[in-house]
Structure 1
Amino acid sequence: MALRRILRSMRLSMARLPPIGYGKLPDAPAFILRDLWQGNSIHGMHLTKGELIYKDQIIPLQPGLWGRRNTSLEGLCKIYDFSWLRDMRELGTDNARLSARALIADWMGRPPTAQHQVAYYSDILGMRLTNWLGHFDFFAASADDAFRKQFMDRLLIEGRYVAAMLPPISGNYKAFSLFKGVMVMTLCMPEQFDLLSRIVRYLKEELVCQILEDGVHIERNPEIMLVVLRDLVEIRLMFQLINRRPPNELITALDLISKALRALRHGDGGLALFNGSSENNPQFIDRVLSHATQKRVAMTNMKQGGYVRCYANRATLIVDSGRPAMTGSRHKHAGCLSLEFSAGRQRIFVNCGAGDTSSWRSILGCTAAHSVLGLENSDCVVVENSKSVMEFEVVAKHHVEEGAHLLEMGHNGWLPRWGAIYQRILYLSSSGEILKGEERIDANEDLSFKIRFHLHPSMVVEEDVVEFTKGKPERIYVLLANNKHEGRQIWWFRFSGAEATVEESIYFGEGSRTASQQIVLTVTADKPVKSEIEISQTSSLQPKEASLINEEIQEGSDYVAIFHHQNVNQRVGQESDHALHSQTMSQHFVSQEKIEEEASGHNPVNEQEENSFQQETSDYQSKEKSPQIVRWALLRKL
């Protein structure tokens, strides 16, 4: 790796020298590309006025003024990749064409050293060249010869830069944007850049390295999968322009990623919020998928990628059943076994998302920012510690019968610190109107934990009292939603074995921060909740509270108020009715043969698969100690 970095640095240094021996430059690109994606005409209108709209921000963009000093890194990337050209093309006026040409002329009049270093990141440079040549027929349609010559001269300079960056840093999804840039130079200036064989070789290597057999990217981020799929679609288009068959690995990857991406979408068309993803634009997702493949099939088995998808009568349950990725962004998410649930186009249970700043991304990677159990205010895995991630084990089984789904899952993330095993069982009925769960902590001593159910901002929570059993009133939460596509929805949330509160939360799924709420089920070790289905004893274990936020992080410091201690609703009493217990899991999933195997402690089918996981946990579990169990149910009433 050290030698590769040295060679890469030498190539980049040589690329800065004056171009010699490249032959005569053509007057125009050999192939005219066509950008596939739709822009925003409203944003294009603002661009003609010198304003770039990005994530509810207005960044100045006009000749001589490329952003502000305090413009974020993401904002600079948006400026320098020139993807905003499609917004001006979507507007389609002469003013938009002239404004785009003026900006490009201003860029060409500046030496590369005058730009911010972000402009020459490999992925930004690759996207800029692709966007230049993808919109050449728009901004250069009526340009004079002097502009065209200046453009081809600058294209050669930037093309030498991007060619010098091969091979890319292996395992990084941004490598595919670099491939696009090199590929587009090979197509449009073939006499100067003959790199097709190298591109094919490196492309095959990265596809094998980054795309798992079930189509999930190694970073396990649905939004990254979308970006990679978009890049691969554009690369395939370039092969078709020169009448060359794309590599088989590319065709296979397009099919696999498309299937996995469809499985990670909710009914509203947006992506599930796992491992740093946001919802993204459903129309853009549809367009990328339609260009990738004509097969409208969703992946059903994503064991390697670590996801489980359950679908029943327009209800979608997606669960993260994998350990954190070992590669990619330093803001990793400790959300193992977290869930998201939607009914039709209405999202109900969600995760908080990724955040729009570095501080928020770090904070929202914690377990508490996911719809899952959090033990003793600590994350389920120390993601900064690669050894902890490697030792992290997850078991997940998915049973389907007559349209209903049963998930049995567990992980050992808290075993080294607390001597505890976390198990989660989820049941989704075939009607899609009943979602039930059982949360279980097996440890030598009682521990405190919280189970969080983050709600979509469109959901409203109210408290009510209902008699499920005559003479036994029970306090529940009523979840209300008025969706313009689905109409009015009413859901009842029941629970057993814990105390419940409604607390503040936040939601970054749509790209900006939105206030929301969360239902929190709390079990406290020093004040256990006793019921017919759980008898917990006061624990002598009193660990120090683990801080989930670095004191140096100032931005987003209200995380503590959002995810800990601050309640905006009174506590709801515990339900101890047997009715919830009896309805929690559907017994028809368990065959008589399985009951006999569990009673004897022997299961020949799964014994080898689970042997290592059970062996590791056996020393920490006591047969005399009752597990801490919380049960809950979400029932649709309308």
Structure 2
Amino acid sequence: MEGPSTGDEVTEAPDRWRLTGLAMREAARILRAEAASLMGLGGLRARTPKRLVIVPPDMRTCDATIADDIYAGYFVFGGRALATGGRSPFALEPPSEAWADILHGFSWLRHLRAADTALARANARALVDEYLREQHGPAIRKPSVAARRAISFLSQSPLIVEGADHVFYQRFLRGLARDLRTCTRAARVASRPLGRLQAAIALAYAGLCCEGCETLGRAATKVLARELDRQVLADGGHVGRNPRVVLDLLLDLLPLRQVYLARGLDPPEALVRAIDRMPPMLRLLRHGDGTLSHFNGAGSTPVDHLTTLLFYDEARASPLQRGLLSGYERLQAGRLVLVADVGAPPPPFVAHDATAGCLSFELTSGEARVVVNLGAPRERSDPLALPARGTAAHATLTLDRASSAAFTSDARGLSKLPAAFLESRFGTLLISGPGEVQTKRPEPLVLEARHDGYASGFGVLHERRLVLGAAGDALAGEDRLLPASGRAARGVGAVPAALRFHLHPSVRARRAQAGRVVLLGLSNGETWQYVLETDGVEARLEESLYLSATDGARKASQIVVAFDTAAAPVIAWRFEKLTAS
């Protein structure tokens, strides 16, 4: 397909001096953090716990039937499966990096606990013992995996240690201590702010749940409060703008608050604020099928986890309609829901998931997805991971097959050196993009937005107007290209452009009326149509991909409207329902 499969060009390569400045800032931060670590500043010192005193709850849903698969040596994680044939899964070559991370994170122990049988308990203890004895592979040393493993060991400790002998119990505590040491280092020196927050959460759990870790817990609480205030925005979004991060953080923060209360301690105010703010943001980003919007690195949604979180939301508030700090807007009329990305790029050091999808939107009718973005593959090493972050992978406008933002991978010449250093610390960062994004809601069902991501390369602004029908049976849209400041005298030049509307794989699409109309059959039985209202252009159906399915990438279609900006600087279109389900 055109777009993500072929890769986008970029509007312009990232500025060399900006890249160099960011690299120098990160190098200086590393030196300061390492110095503080050597001097033992901050009180983050992990000791071997004496014993476990409280078990934190685990809000992740579980399935006892998975325990049978694990007992049979069949491990299915991250969309990949491995049959061990009686060997230890920790001694085998993992089928993918994501699979290895999940295996070594041990969150799957909850399924064995749900089985609640002597066989499941014995199997869990044997697998943990195999891990404690093997202790090799790159996944073990990842701070994010160590943090997840520490929390999993604590929350599933009754399954692991009840009835165990003293030798195993001490080996288990020593293994936990190793993970806590990894987390103490990550909380100080990890490059990614999210990594520092995840480490602080794990350390706070340990400080509350383990005798002998009280000092560590008090220090971790301070780090936790600091990182939450820095990373959770006032509207409940995460500073990196990835919706899935909000979900995953809340799954850990809600039980952590309960543990503070169970120990007779007041949770830090930053924790309480974050927990209060995040559920309304999740509701803003949630569609009628129960999944989150696919923006800025969000892939598949564990619907059961999201449903559980929102059930425990004490406020049970209505969804936010505007997330001004996070850069998301929601329009809803009846069963028709639209969520749009109207945000500028996040700060560079948290932009490892960020995408060039400004002014893209997703549309759902009831439980049926209609328009989507491609989302993100499970594996960061997937060849489609970077193309899926380009503008062409989103339901928005592209100019000359260029993205509206640039990444460190786009660096050229002397810029490659600082870009390579940054990528070694963070992964591929979105490094430049729209400097100004303006939004207006003149009426509750009307969204008007504009961005300048194409101003420097093409001298134009992209403006989009979206209007939902009050009956929830239509979406009218208009995309307009305007001269950027200082370019008005020259006008909008002749540049090839394309509007893209990626369709969910469940949508059956068929062209009609010589490309003026595309008929759409939805999974809920409804029939819709896409109608072009601008003369001189037509809609084509092209291949696309949907990367956010729970079973991996799926083939899909996209509506593409190609046009010349000089001949048609304004494109009007609409989606409308023809028949109900």
Corresponding residue number in structure 1 for 2:538: 499
Aligned residue type for 2:175: R
Which one of 158, 168, 189 corresponds to residue 147 of structure 1?
168
Superposed counterparts of 1:200-239, under 5 Å: 200-239=221-260
Aligned counterpart for 2:520 among listed residues 464, 471, 479: 479
How far off its partner does 1:164 sit?
A: 4.4
Aligned to 1:73: 97
In structure 2, the partner of 1:432 is 472
Say which of 408, 415, 427 aligns to 2:455.
Answer: 415
Q: Does 1:102 align with 2:126?
A: yes
Change (3 A) 1:116 1:499: same
How far residue 237 of structure 1 moved from its aligned partner, in angstroms, is 2.0
Cα distance between partner residues in 1 of 2:553 and 2:178: 40
Q: Provide Cα deviations, 1:166-223, integer angstroms capped at 9, x if missing partner.
A: 4364762233331232123222333244223312221121112111121111111110
Distance in 2 between the 1:156 and 1:475 partners?
Answer: 65
Q: Give the unaligned 5+ runs of structure 2.
A: 1-28, 412-428, 484-490
The answer as to whether partners of 1:67 and 1:76 remain within 8 angstroms in 2 is no
User: 2: distance between equivalents of 1:181 and 1:211?
Assistant: 17
CA shift, 1:513, in A, is 0.4
Report the CA distance between 1:242 and its aligned residue: 0.7
Cα distance, 1:192–1:423 mapped onto 2, change above 3 Å? closer
Percent identity at matched positions?
Answer: 25
Q: Is the CA contact (8 Å cut-off) linking 2:394 and 2:500 kept in structure 1?
A: yes
Normalised by the length of structure 2, the TM-score is: 0.82
CA deviation after TM superposition for structure 1 residue 509, in Å: 1.9
In structure 1, give the amino acid aligned to 2:529: W
Provide the rounded CA distance (Å) in 2 between the counterparts of 1:236 and 1:220.
24
CA contact (8 A) 2:356 2:390 kept: yes
Q: How does 1:619-634 map to 2 (within 5 A)?
A: 628-634=569-575
The separation in 1 between residues aligned to 2:388 and 2:434, in whole angstroms, is 23
> Equivalent residues in 2 for 1:519-598 (5 A)?
519-524=559-564, 536-537=566-567
How many angstroms does 1:119 deviate by? 1.2
- Could you report, residue by residue, the CA deviation over 1:233-272 in whole angstroms, capped at 9, with x for unpaired residues? 1321221221111112211111111111110000111001
Residue 433 (structure 1) shift: 0.6
User: Residues 116, 293 of structure 1: CA spacing in aligned structure 2 closer, same or farther, 3 A cutoff?
Assistant: farther
Matched AA of 1:71: P
- Give the TM-score normalised by the residue count of structure 1: 0.75
Q: Which residue of 2 aligns with 1:458?
A: 506
For the pair 1:275 / 2:318, whether they are aligned, the reply is no
Cα deviation, residue 70, structure 1: 5.4
Helix, strand or coil: the match of 2:529?
strand
CA spacing shift, 1:141–1:200, aligned 2, 3 Å? closer
- The counterpart of 1:338, out of the listed 360, 364, 367, is 360
CA displacement, residues 410-468 of structure 1 (integer Å, 9 cap, x when unaligned): 11111111111111111111111110111112343122111011111111012334xxx
Displacement of 1:60 after TM fit? 4.8
- 1:84 maps to 108
CA distance in 1, matches of 2:384, 2:430: 25
Alignment of 1:319-334 (within 5 A): 319-325=340-346, 326-328=348-350, 330-334=352-356
| 1:11/1:105 CA distance change after superposition, 3 Å | farther
Structure 1 unaligned runs (5+)? 466-472, 526-535, 538-626
**Is residue 216 of structure 2 the alignment partner of residue 195 of structure 1?**
yes
Give the alignment of 1:102-141 within 5 angstroms. 102-110=126-134, 114-141=135-162
The total of aligned residue pairs comes to 514
| 1:136/1:63 CA distance change after superposition, 3 Å | farther
For residue 489 of structure 1, the aligned residue among 526, 529, 534 is 526
> Aligned letter for 2:539?
A
Output the CA distance in 2 between the equivalents of 1:430 and 1:168. Answer: 51
Equivalent in the alignment of 1:354: 376
Q: Is 1:370–2:394 an aligned residue pair?
A: yes
Q: Which residue of 2 aligns with 1:399?
A: 442
**Which of the pair has the greater relative contact order for Cα pairs under 8 Å at 6+ separation?**
2
Larger Rg: 1
Q: Which residue of 2 aligns with 1:591?
A: none
Cα pair 2:90 2:130 within 8 Å, conserved = no
- Tell me which residue corresponds to 1:54: 77
CA contact (8 A) 1:464 1:475 kept: yes
Asked whether the equivalents of residues 337 and 364 of structure 2 are also in contact (C-alpha less than 8 Å), the reply is: yes
Helix, strand or coil: the match of 1:273?
Answer: coil
1:570-589 deviations in Å (ceiling 9; x for gaps):
xxxxxxxxxxxxxxxxxxxx
Does the Cα contact within 8 Å between 1:171 and 1:210 map onto a contact in 2? no
Choose the corresponding residue for 1:635, options 569, 576, 581.
576
1:500, 1:412 → 2: CA distance? Answer: 26
CA deviations over 1:469-503 (Å, ceiling 9, x no partner): xxxx99421111232xxxx1011211024221101
1:60 and 1:68 in contact (8 A); partners too: no
